[in-house]
Amino acid sequence: MGTELLAPLDLAFWHLESDAHPMHLGALAVFSPGPGPVPGPQALLELLGTRAAAIPRLRMRVRDVLLPVGGAAWSADKDFDVHRHVKQVQLPEAAAGDEDAFMAGATRLAGELMEQPLRRGLPPWQMYVIGGAPDGPFAVLVKLHHALADGMRAVAIGAGIFDEIASVAGRGRPGAPAGRARPVPPRSWMPGPRQVAGLALGRIEDLGRAFGVGASLVRASRLDLRGAPALSASSSGTRRLATADLDLASVQRIRRAAGGTSNDVLLAVVAGALRRWMLERGEPLPGADPRALVPVSRRRPGGTAATGNRLSAYLLGLPVSEPDPWERLRAVRGAMDRNKSAGPLRGAGAVAVLADQLPSLAHRFGAPLAGNAARMLFDVLVTSVPLPRSALSLGGCPLRALYPMAPLARGQSLAVALTTYGSTVQIGLVADGKALPDLERLGRCAEDEVAALLALLPAP
């Protein structure tokens, strides 16, 4: 099997990682008992392992290469053993007595597991079956290194474990032996003569774009020198998770009244939740509104399913200083409209585009500096992750909820990830465990913010 060089942005995520700042994405999928008997823990483990082993990308590991200097490549793990990656954890009986207790126990345990960096030298992913009471709900925690995939690509990879996708791909039978992975075509990094002219022109355009983004990045970073960034903290290396559920119909009703997009509404909900949470904690509101980094996919609809990360981002001031929920929404919508007019390839938020233009050696030695600079650019990550619209299940048990989880940047204490499944918007909150021990309260504040926006609408 050939090798495939890590793209520059993938390499950046690989080298940004440290023990206190693991760079993996996550998702906590919660399943309800199906119409038939719930598969036992061992049966679930075997089913999950069979399906994961049949996904070619999950058999690839990262290794250093001689050229380009400082680079790395994906290569097949010749000693791949899925049992190193798929494990089963049983909650204590007291934490599995009912659904609320199960969710609290599963979320706490998932936080502890998210603290642990993925083992290098192996394919960078892990899955855990979190069991509860017999014939009760269970959960699956998925961890994928950010070098392996961005949010959209992670969904495409992780979807292979579900009954509906696995059966189409021919890996739906529990206990079936894991087939050999199909060879992954190597990325061409030695162009032929006909490509040289086109690559040279493209490189000039890339360098011009990188210069513009870099200048915007410097300007934006200087703004934060006036005061300490909001939501910053010295990292303790611990992780705490919390979840929240918003009614999708309510979000859509607010969106129809306000205009804009559902994502505008959700960003405003995050801003309002932060304001409520800070006031409830007795904290003074920050002198300057915190800034969110809002990732934007650079994948084109209907385009090829490119591996690795294809990201840019917008910067957005979250108007926590504005007391009126409706005015907060208007401010968010206006700022996002301006971001979209400029496009995802311009401005300081396009730092990922800049990273995609840097040579491998710069990522290897510049990662610590880049990690420390993140807190000067933004205060909180707020990302939306798309899910398939169809109903999903595992072992005949329907998926009830899926809470996405984003990694924490160095020096920051909170990341927010949102997704929509069925009739619910599900929010996954990841925080430094010591900096924000009351994370569950922030989830409740998000639900309160939706209720406040609805209260301002005329009766239907």
Q: What percent of the chain has pLDDT over 90?
A: 45
pLDDT reading at 196 higher than 80: no
Segment 116-143 shows an average pLDDT of 91
Angle, to 10 degrees, between the axis of helix 439-455 and the axis of helix 262-280?
Answer: 120
Q: What tokens does 271 get?
A: 């801003």
Q: Give pLDDT tens digits for 31-73.
A: 998 888 878 888 999 999 999 999 999 999 999 888 887 888 9
pLDDT reading at 415 higher than 80: yes
Whether the CB-CB separation of 126 and 83 falls below 8 Å is answered with no
Taking the C-alpha atoms of residue 343 and residue 63, their distance in angstroms, rounded to an integer, is 35
Q: Report residue 327's pLDDT band, with 50, 70 and 90 as the boundaries.
A: very high
pTM exceeds 0.75, yes or no: yes
Q: What is the DSSP letter of 148?
A: T
Which range is most confident: 127-136, 150-159, 444-453? Answer: 444-453
pLDDT reading at 236 higher than 50: yes
Taking the C-alpha atoms of residue 31 and residue 29, their distance in angstroms, rounded to an integer, is 7
Q: What is the DSSP letter of 152?
A: H
Taking the C-alpha atoms of residue 389 and residue 233, their distance in angstroms, rounded to an integer, is 37
Least confident of 12-21, 163-172, 206-215, 363-372: 206-215
- The pLDDT assigned to 153 comes to 74
Taking the C-alpha atoms of residue 431 and residue 408, their distance in angstroms, rounded to an integer, is 7
pLDDT reading at 376 higher than 80: no
Whether the CB-CB separation of 331 and 319 falls below 8 Å is answered with yes
Least confident of 6-10, 115-119, 206-210: 206-210
Of the candidates 31, 237, 24, 39, the residue with the CA atom closest to the CA atom of residue 142 = 24
Segment 169-195 shows an average pLDDT of 43
Taking the C-alpha atoms of residue 15 and residue 13, their distance in angstroms, rounded to an integer, is 6
Q: Report residue 425's pLDDT band, with 50, 70 and 90 as the boundaries.
A: very high
Of the candidates 325, 353, 345, 427, the residue with the CA atom closest to the CA atom of residue 383 = 427
Report residue 304: phi and psi, to 5°: -70, 150
pLDDT reading at 248 higher than 60: yes
Whether the CB-CB separation of 408 and 371 falls below 8 Å is answered with no
